Structure 1
Amino acid sequence: MSTDAAARTAAGQNPTPPDTRTDNSNPPDLGKRLIKLGICAAITLLLILIPAPAGLTPVAWRLFALYIGVLAALMMRPFPEPVIFFFAIGTTGVLLSGNEDVSVKDLLGGYADPTAWLVFSAFFIGTAFAITGLGKRIAYLLIRAVGSTPLRLGFVACLTDLILAPATPSNAARTGGITYPIMRNVASALDSEPGPKGRRIGRYLTMTTYYASFATSTLFLTAIAFLPLTVKVIQEGLGLEPVTWMQYTTYALVPGLVMLFIVPVAVKIMDPPELEKVDNKAIGQKGLDDLGPMSRREKWLLGLFIAAILTWAIGSFIGINANAVAIMFVGMLLITGVMSWQDMVNDKPAWTTFMWYGGIIGLIGTLSNVGFFAWLGDLIARYINLSGWPWVLVMIVLVVVVIASRYFFASGVVYAGSVLPILVAIAAAAGVPAWPALMLLAMVSIYGGQVTHYSGTLSPVLFGTGYVSQQRWWAMSLAMALIWAVISFVVGIPWWAALGLL
């Protein structure tokens, strides 16, 4: 797939003409898909046949078995995520019908969860930045103003992603669809194509933009789709109240910004570009000329975006719900004509994410209701005794475990639903202070996912350009993850102490 096609795919656009076939009743790979689904069902059945462990009710054990089958399906991908959850919720509801502890209403409760609607709404806001061209305009203005050297262009990539991150819960759409295509065009303009000329500046801009995306994703609940789910799993495991948008951003602000602004410098040290000067004025002006004058839709979007950010920032102080603000923002986009209803209907990533997001929240919530996670925490506390360890040492071990385990997961959702609850239970059993545990685990869940070229939707898009070899990609990405781990402790803990969280 070409770079442009990959970027369009990441942004939720179809790089090829739509399939006009009307008979899709028997796709050619249906047999293979059903075999994979059968394997997942067999895993569930084997677990159901095992007696429930002591302290866990039979219905909780059966629900856990079904949940493991869902996680296996998410890893093996016999069908897209929404299909898996449609089938899983229906199957669970049928098999557990008549049980007082589990109802279909509980299983569907995730679709009424405020965080699902926050992510759903933010997807449309991110789409508005793409279709109006405002995201590109911001980037070219920054390039023209300050991008006179490779290092400064690296900071432009960071700042562009930072500005777009609060309203774009898909780093693939944000970085792969807006920020990186611009940086890729800059590299082409400077005669730095993949291959021997990649070292001129293209490789540097690729890796800087990649790491910038993960750094900005740690800063806002709405900056990457699975972060609200991750925070919810940790918050429930530690017995904390629901985390607000402003709470999370305040706690992540200082360590997250340090992570972000160290990116261009760290990449320059690890892989210095050959170019020293950039004709940023000409590149930036050409990009702005191609966009033309600022449109009415861009002006409306800019005004609404600023209003939303301000309301999110002060909402907790004046009693305005952040999720309601996001939904109202989308309503205003429709009323002002920034987007049409058809634009929303065509935004497949938003609808897809909402369907799997609500499904997994419903399943996890139901598991929590039947006491599974409380049982898991007690079990870990009984067999893993870390009570004598300093809590900082416990968290260092858990952060390293997260980074190491992400080599085995191509999905942050699967990781959040499988490994994370166990790590949360270990932190709780070891007596780690709740808020530092939440922030350290939430942030490493994001930046730990950058270590491979298959760790999410964005990674293969940028890796596929051919600027960076797999060996270099893995080595640099592991180094960056470890640098950020150090920052999260050295900068994060004093910041959280200053905020009274310790």
Structure 2
Amino acid sequence: MFKDTRVLGVAAFALIGLFIGIAKPFVGLPAQGHFIMATVIAALGFWIFRPGGLPFSAGCSLILAGGLIFGLKYDVVASGFVSSAVWVLIPALYFGFILQKTGLGKRIAYLVLKSFKPSWLSMAFSWFIIGIALSALTPSITVRIAIVMPIALSVVEACKQEYRSKGSAFIALLAWAMCLFPGTGWLTGSLSGPIILGFLPPELKPMATFEAWFQILALPWLLITVIFTVLVYFIMKPKEAIGIPRDTFEKEYADLGPIRREEIIAIIVLVGSLVMFSTERIHHIPTAATALAALFLLIMFKLITVPEISSGINWDVVMFFGVAISLQTIFVASQVSGWIEPILRPSLLSLASNPLIFLLVATFGIMLIRFIDVPWGFSTAALTITVLIPIYTQFGIHPLVSSMAYLIGINFVLLNYQQPFILISEGIMQNRGWAPVHVTLAGVAYIIAAVIALLVSMPYWRMIGVIQ
């Protein structure tokens, strides 16, 4: 029945796309725009429901083929693949592969866990530190989850917490959240950075440097992380003490053995890359160039071997992100953006005179859309992000401030189907970490944290001059 539901979902999206392509119901939208919208909607059905476990590449191929069939040029439909965002993404995914292959990610996690006396509070703090450390070394959330969630399940078992209980959910959901939230505060800390950079119109891209991203977005994402952690602590923390001996994690760390040559090389290359990313204003070497140079070093020192070039990262994810980034150019070239912008612009510009109201409305609007636009809301971002140009030029709201609404939407979850990283984590833990109600409670905590972060960040953004 579940598989049938997936097929029905794809069929429903395909029928909607077919109706748009044939009936052309949108006044003022050219025929090519209707055809492109129809193609993207049909592809969304494959991305959302993935019948038979189809990869994202199926929907991606449909968009690329449809764009070419309906008259778009190759450099338009494949524009995302020449974006600097993709050439940051590919090396960064290999960074995550190296964290797993060498065991460096696990070593970092157990090093932090063994450094504190076991308690529920120290557990929350440990996940926070682990999240920041792993986010600094790789933007791949999938890799961080692959490293952290098995450890989280081991902690659940060591603490003798019943599977899917509040105590189990406290441990697992905090571990999961620290894989997502902290790294959003800098350009290379999560995949959201390269994606938003890729979506931004050409005239706004130069404003999304590593330094600007950190200056504008590090504070709100630190606030979201801390407030979320505090709320989950009070909502889900077990009443009884943690009940595990202090040497539990020391033994796990000792079992890893002495640090190896591969780990030393990996940490030097990855930390060196982070330093180069954060000092781009001084040396003027683009982030993509630094990432590619780091990949060269990892290959040269044979941490990545010839077979691992193809198997070391998920190329389906690369294709998905390349096509997702291309959507912005595709929508512009097919005049879909030009058609929708006059519809959105009056309402958004009327709100932009009050930046707080504008961000709150935009944020909750994207959250609402996420119930339908499941793959992180990327198609919504691609379709609407050109509106940031008049919002910046007329109201002086920096595009990275406006992007906060998209970033909150990307990390949003209230029901588990909305967040692919929830589903990945459930698979890794074999559905033993939390129950659906805990995901919803965590989602409510996230919404509260996001709203508070926006309220607190407003005076800070005014102070640093990114809101006029």
TM over 0.5: yes
* Map of 1:7 onto structure 2: none
Question: Does the 8 Å CA contact 1:192/1:202 hold for their aligned counterparts?
Answer: yes
Question: Does the 8 Å CA contact 1:121/1:326 hold for their aligned counterparts?
Answer: yes
* Map of 2:22 onto structure 1: 49
Residues 1:306 and 2:263 are matched in the alignment? no
Question: Does the 8 Å CA contact 1:214/1:446 hold for their aligned counterparts?
Answer: no
Match of 2:236 among 261, 267, 271: 271
* Map of 1:184 onto structure 2: 153
Equivalent pairs: percent with the same residue?
A: 17
Describe how 1:145-224 pairs up with structure 2 within 5 A: 145-175=115-145, 177-194=146-163, 198-199=165-166, 201-224=167-190
Residues 1:451 and 2:417 are matched in the alignment? no
1:123 Cα deviation (Å)? 0.8
Residues 1:367 and 2:331 are matched in the alignment? yes
Describe how 1:278-297 pairs up with structure 2 within 5 A: 279=244, 281-297=246-262
Query: In terms of mean alpha carbon deviation, does 46-55 or 120-129 score higher?
Result: 46-55
Q: C-alpha distance in 1, partners of 2:290/2:196?
A: 22
* Map of 2:36 onto structure 1: 63
Residues 1:416 and 2:378 are matched in the alignment? yes
Q: C-alpha distance in 1, partners of 2:18/2:184?
A: 38
1:37 Cα deviation (Å)? 6.4
Residues 1:497 and 2:467 are matched in the alignment? no
* Map of 1:336 onto structure 2: 301
Question: Does the 8 Å CA contact 1:150/1:275 hold for their aligned counterparts?
Answer: no
Q: C-alpha distance in 1, partners of 2:10/2:400?
A: 39
CA-to-partner distance for each residue in 1:29-88, whole Å, 9 max, x for gaps?
9x9999876665543342233358555443334333323332233223343211222233
Structure 1 pair 181/91, CA: closer, same or farther in 2 (3 Å)?
same
Residues 1:258 and 2:227 are matched in the alignment? no
Q: C-alpha distance in 1, partners of 2:321/2:126?
A: 32
* Map of 1:76 onto structure 2: 49
Query: In terms of mean alpha carbon deviation, does 240-249 or 109-118 score higher?
Result: 240-249
Letter in 2 for 1:474: T
Match of 1:481 among 419, 435, 447: 447
Letter in 2 for 1:497: R
Question: Does the 8 Å CA contact 1:118/1:326 hold for their aligned counterparts?
Answer: yes
Letter in 2 for 1:364: Q
- Structure 2, gaps ≥5 residues long: none
Question: Does the 8 Å CA contact 2:128/2:178 hold for their aligned counterparts?
Answer: yes
* Map of 1:11 onto structure 2: none
- Structure 1, gaps ≥5 residues long: 1-28, 97-101
Residues 1:124 and 2:94 are matched in the alignment? yes
Aligned residue pairs: how many? 458
Q: C-alpha distance in 1, partners of 2:273/2:93?
A: 14
Question: Does the 8 Å CA contact 1:453/1:470 hold for their aligned counterparts?
Answer: yes
Structure 1 pair 344/261, CA: closer, same or farther in 2 (3 Å)?
farther
1:238 Cα deviation (Å)? 9.0
Structure 1 pair 371/298, CA: closer, same or farther in 2 (3 Å)?
same
Letter in 2 for 1:138: I
Question: Does the 8 Å CA contact 1:116/1:357 hold for their aligned counterparts?
Answer: yes
Question: Does the 8 Å CA contact 1:108/1:362 hold for their aligned counterparts?
Answer: yes
Letter in 2 for 1:70: A
CA-atom RMSD in angstroms: 3.1
Q: C-alpha distance in 2, partners of 1:38/1:454?
A: 19
* Map of 1:247 onto structure 2: 212
Q: C-alpha distance in 1, partners of 2:7/2:227?
A: 47
Question: Does the 8 Å CA contact 1:145/1:281 hold for their aligned counterparts?
Answer: no
Q: C-alpha distance in 2, partners of 1:389/1:314?
A: 34
> Could you tell me the TM-score, scaled by structure 1's length?
0.81
Structure 1 pair 462/259, CA: closer, same or farther in 2 (3 Å)?
same
Question: Does the 8 Å CA contact 1:85/1:356 hold for their aligned counterparts?
Answer: yes
Letter in 1 for 2:264: K
Query: In terms of mean alpha carbon deviation, does 382-391 or 147-156 score higher?
Result: 382-391
Q: C-alpha distance in 2, partners of 1:149/1:467?
A: 19
* Map of 1:26 onto structure 2: none
CA-to-partner distance for each residue in 1:111-149, whole Å, 9 max, x for gaps?
111101211211110111011111111111111212432
1:182 Cα deviation (Å)? 1.6
Structure 1 pair 237/282, CA: closer, same or farther in 2 (3 Å)?
same
SS of the aligned residue for 1:246 comes to helix
1:209 Cα deviation (Å)? 1.4
Q: C-alpha distance in 2, partners of 1:332/1:184?
A: 34
Letter in 1 for 2:50: R
CA-to-partner distance for each residue in 1:238-282, whole Å, 9 max, x for gaps?
956462233222321112122223343322211222343565641
CA-to-partner distance for each residue in 1:345-385, whole Å, 9 max, x for gaps?
21352x11111221232233132234432332122235777
Structure 1 pair 87/427, CA: closer, same or farther in 2 (3 Å)?
closer
Q: C-alpha distance in 2, partners of 1:387/1:282?
A: 55
Question: Does the 8 Å CA contact 2:373/2:380 hold for their aligned counterparts?
Answer: no
Q: C-alpha distance in 1, partners of 2:264/2:191?
A: 27
Match of 1:141 among 77, 87, 111: 111
Letter in 2 for 1:182: I
Residues 1:103 and 2:73 are matched in the alignment? yes
CA-to-partner distance for each residue in 1:169-226, whole Å, 9 max, x for gaps?
3323212x1122222212222322416xx45x43321121122223124223334435
Q: C-alpha distance in 1, partners of 2:299/2:308?
A: 9
Residues 1:229 and 2:191 are matched in the alignment? no
Question: Does the 8 Å CA contact 1:165/1:216 hold for their aligned counterparts?
Answer: yes
Question: Does the 8 Å CA contact 2:153/2:433 hold for their aligned counterparts?
Answer: no
